[in-house]
Structure 1
């Protein structure tokens, strides 16, 4: 069985993949990488590799997808298959960078636990933003990362490279998945990734925002199970 390594997104903990960790245990040993060390996406990727099995299936969501694409640049021979969820291969635009710096300033001025809950909840599908369970998950994940962790991750995301030039070199079974109502990394970003990776499979999850793994856990787990059996 091939080990599976999950890589969480910005301001997210291992809880982002809790449903998949339960659903996919039969396919191989599962670990969730820490994103709490490293000042850049490249350093985060190196830290994941330092603690990962020799060869593994790699799954990343959002910022975790940026890290996964960097792992494919640093050590492609160690990745048996790749899944990129709700992410983008493009670098930040000046407008996105400005918005991130405003968010960081607001986070520093606020009750961070409450701020992180509201911020993470805002990226969900509109029909789920009042869901008490999802709100609590988001609060716990925000507390797990903390303000300084969020600040460091934000700077890493702002300074990430353009991953598009290297996508054509990926030669492992690849799943690209996105929520149909993902406002943060819209479906066209995933369509672009899938078009650049040879043989990639694109899955668009219905009635779903940016946090697909906890919004539509069953559909995401089913898509990952199919990918693991390719």
Structure 2
């Protein structure tokens, strides 16, 4: 993967599709990387320039001594968009990528064309969950993440997906990747999520078209969180996926791809928009 330096961090990214096409930037969830959007990029990359970035200490981006808070990651995303000349771009963010997307749209809306939020929240982390996340982050720092995977899987994947034998290759691929992550970087990433402040008061400033999607079986960011976001962002479109957990791009890739194609396609057909908008 190519790497660019942003805000003192080396950020790994992918850049797929025609350079003169509308840009879609994908921000991944905690314990993943840009690879989690592979099915969507495969479908979109003939008509869109698809860019992923890996957050500090995750995916292929090296760990840094600090800077895992959501404000710093938002600055990283903005820096990558500016460094690659991607603005204005469509942002698609899942969970952690959604935390960043909301901040980016509220504070730097000029660099975005639209916002898609998948399985995410506008509020601070639930205190009980935050304590559990910090505890697990400390444990994995000492013994690694592998012993914790039985506790982590039900947070990231829905029961229907976990029970489906066809899901085993995806789960195996995720496990192979997550056990390789730098322990210090992973601890920082988890604390960045657990300690984040809410941004509910900022969402009214988001002016770009917004799609909010949640899995009905998402326990990490339950559907009530998506409904709250949709209520706070003017004219946001809310969609619920039955039988889906937190990691919708991998659990129901065809459904997410169809929603994105329809949403982005509508924006291209808006009056006053050019064919490449």
**Which interval holds the TM-score relative to the shorter structure?**
over 0.9
> Equivalents in 1 of 2:245, 2:231: separation in Å?
22
Which of 238, 244, 249 is matched with 1:213 structurally?
Answer: 249
TM-score where L is the length of structure 2 = 0.77
1:94 Cα deviation from its structure 2 partner: 2.3
* Corresponding position of 2:190: 154
Q: Which of structure 1's runs of 4+ aligned residues deviate more than 4 A?
A: none
Which of 21, 33, 36 is matched with 1:13 structurally?
Answer: 33
1:147 Cα deviation from its structure 2 partner: 1.9
* Corresponding position of 1:72: 105
TM-score where L is the length of structure 1 = 0.92
The count of aligned residue pairs is 229
User: For structure 1, which segment, 66-75 or 198-207, has the greater mean C-alpha deviation from structure 2 after superposition?
Assistant: 66-75
* Corresponding position of 2:161: 128
> Equivalents in 2 of 1:132, 1:72: separation in Å?
36
- Comparing both chains, which one has the higher relative contact order based on Cα–Cα distances under 8 Å and sequence gaps of 6 or more? 1
Could you say which structure has the higher helix fraction?
Answer: 1
* Structure label with greater radius of gyration: 2
**What is the aligned-residue RMSD (CA, Å)?**
1.7
Unaligned runs of 5+ in 2: 1-20, 57-63, 267-277
Gap change, CA 1:121 and 1:96, over 3 Å in 2: closer
Kindly report which structure 2 residues correspond to 1:1-230, keeping only aligned pairs within 5 A, or say none: 1-36=21-56, 38-52=67-81, 53-112=86-145, 114-115=146-147, 117-123=149-155, 124-130=157-163, 131-143=167-179, 145-230=181-266
> Equivalents in 1 of 2:216, 2:130: separation in Å?
24
1:16 Cα deviation from its structure 2 partner: 1.1
User: For structure 1, which segment, 151-160 or 220-229, has the greater mean C-alpha deviation from structure 2 after superposition?
Assistant: 151-160
> Equivalents in 2 of 1:172, 1:185: separation in Å?
23
Kept after mapping to 2: 8 A contact 1:13/1:145: no
Unaligned runs of 5+ in 1: none
